């Protein structure tokens, strides 16, 4: 396998499926099945999932909620999604541990790096909830931070598009896809791959980030087997896909 330990980043919106909000059980079970295929190969899997399908802290101020309170509400939304994903994974036969950056012992273990590493080494999928536990930091940043802390080989960011483009491919038919792109170019071109803090963390620690379509069957499996799927964000020179 190309990777021994990965950090899978999923957006909260990805759990909506075809629904306009909340959690689509079919999409949840699909993700659990895809994770199981990788787990069965002996790959150590950590997961960070957003909460945008339930509540977005960044939109809180428009609703009259101050930013810090809104971000805390967003952290709780990630815990709802994390619990749902944990349940789906365990129904699929995967041993999991949910760890929270905010203490809520009744439903999750407190996040402790060494304990998380031991769970991974014992073959348990570890879901990291509640972001970083601090306001003003996104779940993208939480994913980069946890990946660095557990010494993951790469962050795999599952989206609904098949990589990084120079424009939104869902709105621009002429958008060009990158096969590889450097951290510097992501920052310079202001591409919305992850937020600036998350990309900077990856860059400082030379942690590869791969953006791929998580909604396509076996894409995650093909990635860990070493197939060229999606776009690699790293220190190498940017390369555009040409026909």
- pLDDT value at position 46? 98
Residue 242 has pLDDT above 70, yes or no: no
pLDDT mean over 225-239: 90
Structure confidence by residue, pLDDT tens digits, 148-205: 999 999 999 999 889 999 888 888 888 999 999 999 999 999 898 999 999 999 999 9
Contact present, 34 and 96 (Cβ < 8 Å): no
- pLDDT value at position 239? 81
- pLDDT value at position 229? 93
Contact present, 33 and 220 (Cβ < 8 Å): no
Instruction: Give the Cα separation of 163 and 24 in Å (integer).
Output: 23
Structure confidence by residue, pLDDT tens digits, 113-153: 999 999 999 999 999 999 999 999 999 999 999 999 999 99
Residues 6+ apart with CB under 8 A from 59: 70
Structure confidence by residue, pLDDT tens digits, 8-27: 999 999 999 888 789 999 99
The mean predicted confidence, pLDDT, of the chain is 93
Residue 57 has pLDDT above 80, yes or no: no
Q: Which residues pair with 8 in a beta bridge?
A: 47, 156
Residue 243 has pLDDT above 50, yes or no: no
- pLDDT value at position 230? 94
Architecture of the structural domain at 5-240: 3-Layer(aba) Sandwich (3.40)
Residue 234 has pLDDT above 80, yes or no: yes
């Amino acid at each position: 396998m190309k990777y021994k330990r990965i950090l899978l980043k999923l957006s909260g919106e990805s759990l909506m499926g075809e629904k306009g909000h909340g959690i689509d059980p079919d999409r949840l079970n699909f993700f659990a099945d895809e994770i199981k295929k990788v787990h069965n190969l002996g790959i150590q899997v950590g997961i960070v999932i957003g909460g945008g399908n339930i509540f977005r802290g960044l939109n809180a101020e428009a609703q009259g909620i101050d930013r810090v309170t809104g971000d805390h509400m967003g952290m709780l939304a990630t815990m709802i999604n994390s619990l749902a994903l944990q349940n789906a994974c365990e129904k699929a036969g995967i041993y999991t541990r949910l760890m929270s950056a905010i203490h809520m012992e009744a439903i999750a273990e407190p996040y402790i790096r060494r304990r998380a590493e031991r769970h991974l080494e014992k073959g348990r999928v570890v879901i990291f909830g509640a972001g970083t536990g601090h306001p003003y930091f996104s779940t993208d940043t939480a994913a980069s931070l946890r990946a660095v802390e557990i010494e993951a080989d790469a962050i795999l960011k599952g989206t609904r598009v098949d990589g990084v483009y120079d424009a939104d491919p869902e709105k621009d038919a002429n958008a060009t896809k990158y096969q590889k792109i450097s951290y510097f170019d992501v920052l310079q071109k202001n591409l919305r791959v992850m937020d600036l803090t998350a990309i900077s963390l990856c860059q400082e620690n030379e942690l590869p980030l791969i953006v791929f379509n998580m909604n396509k069957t076996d894409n995650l499996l093909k990635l860990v087997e070493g197939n060229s799927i999606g776009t690699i964000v790293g220190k190498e020179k940017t390369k555009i896909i040409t026909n």
